[in-house]
Every structure is written in C-alpha cells, then in structure tokens.
Amino acid sequence: MRTDVEVSPLGIFPEVAEGSTADTILKVAGRLFAQKGFHAISTREIASEVGIRKASLFHHFASKVAIAQHLLEYGRLRSPLLQGEELLPQSRPAVRIYATFRRELELEFTSRYEMRGLYLSDLMEEPDFVFWNERHKRAKQAGERTLAEGMKSGEFIEGSTALFAHFLDSVLLGAIRLQRHADVLEEANVIASLMMRALLSNPADLESIKQEVSKTR
C-alpha cells in the first residue's frame, strides 16, 4: 500500500487485489451506480449482483457510502493531477497541459472501475464526499494557473482561464462515457491533440509539444 500521499478520510488505502471479492463488489457497484444512480441502488442489490449475501458485503465495506468512497480514492491515487502533481513541472505551460491532460485520459481509459455514476452526478457535492470534491476543485484551479501562464507567454489564445479550465474538465468527464478500445494510448493522444489545437495560439506548435513530451516517456 502507498504511504507517501495525502491520507483521505478512509485512512491509508489498501490495495484491492484484482479478482478478489472486494474488487468484484467495486466493479459491480460502479456499474450499477452508472446505470441507475447512487441513491437508487441498495447494498442488497449490489450483493445480489455479486452473488454474495449482504452480510458478506459488509465484511468488505461498511456501507454503500464506503463503497463509493473507495471508488473515488482508487481514482485519486491513480491520478497525479488529483494528488496535486503536474507532469513535467519545469516545462513550458503548453507541454505541461498536454502531458498532464493526456495522462489523465489514459488513466480514465484504463480504470478497473466504472466512475460515471460518481463523477457525472451531484454526488460529489454531498458531505460524505467533500474530501474528493475538494481535490477535483484544486486540480481545476491548478489548471487555471497553468493556462494563465500559457496566455501570458503567448502559447495559448487569450480568454477566461476559468472557462478554459471548465472546458478541459468537461472533456475529461466526457471521455468517461466513451467506449473503451484496445489502443487507449492512441485514443488519449487524439483527444488531447484536439483539445490542444483549440487552445494553442499557433496550432502548428502541437508537433513540437508532442516531441518534448515523448522525450520524457
């Protein structure tokens, strides 16, 4: 388990072995939350879908809220952005935005769990999920600062940093809905490239940005 990151209300987050009962519960719950909504699903339904008794589910997770929190923590611990890290911090703003954004897309596309029912709802505004909502807000604010740097340097077109950050966030959230295909790295690259062309003052600069990022991979 990781001990070098900010600790959430769950405490030190234990690794969930793929294929374990806990892993299956998280997979089923994530899918049901996406299909019907968090509040429309009961722990009894989740247990039934998994093929275990409700009491067995509670052996792994104390409540439905705990299941959702574990899903959110799984996502946070995979994401440099949600942990307050920006990729290639010494590079110019456009390189940092592209590298960070593409990495977040790759993580979304390779997630073991369905997250739509959590991220694409008002659930994050509820008291039980304040910790994770705050990390999303901080990530968005960090994006605004980098965008402001890029506008000042002339790399990005001028505009509202809050609006542009919302645009980036919307693209990330929208990508959660996409059907997963085999070449997730190429899909992430295509989406990140489209996004960068919309931001860059000189879209032709995209190739040099990609080259700078590729040198670090």
pLDDT value at 5 more than 80: no
Q: What is the mean pLDDT of the chain?
A: 92
Closest CA to 79 of 146, 180, 8, 167: 8
**Per-residue confidence band for 3, with pLDDT thresholds at 50, 70 and 90:** very low
Choose between 215 and 180: higher pLDDT.
Answer: 215
What is residue 1's predicted lDDT score, i.e. its pLDDT?
41
Choose between 178 and 136: higher pLDDT.
Answer: 136
Question: What value does the mean pLDDT take over residues 48-71?
Answer: 97
Q: What six digits make up the tokens of 188?
A: 């992430």
What percent of the chain is predicted at pLDDT more than 70? 95
Q: Which CATH class is domain 21-71?
A: mainly alpha
Question: What value does the mean pLDDT take over residues 107-125?
Answer: 91
Q: Please report where in the chains the tokens 């542009």 appear, as a residue.
A: 164
Choose between 42 and 170: higher pLDDT.
Answer: 42
Closest CA to 10 of 108, 82, 77, 56: 77
Burial of 9 (0-12, 13-18, 19+ CB in 10 A): exposed
d(CA 46, CA 38): 11
d(CA 137, CA 188): 22
Q: Please report where in the chains the tokens 């073991």 appear, as a residue.
A: 112
Q: Where in the chain is the domain with CATH 1.10.10.60?
A: 21-71
What is residue 174's predicted lDDT score, i.e. its pLDDT?
84
What is residue 35's predicted lDDT score, i.e. its pLDDT?
94
The architecture of the domain spanning 72-214 is: Orthogonal Bundle (1.10)
d(CA 184, CA 190): 10
Q: Where in the chain is the domain with CATH 1.10.357.10?
A: 72-214
Does this model's pTM top 0.75? My answer is yes
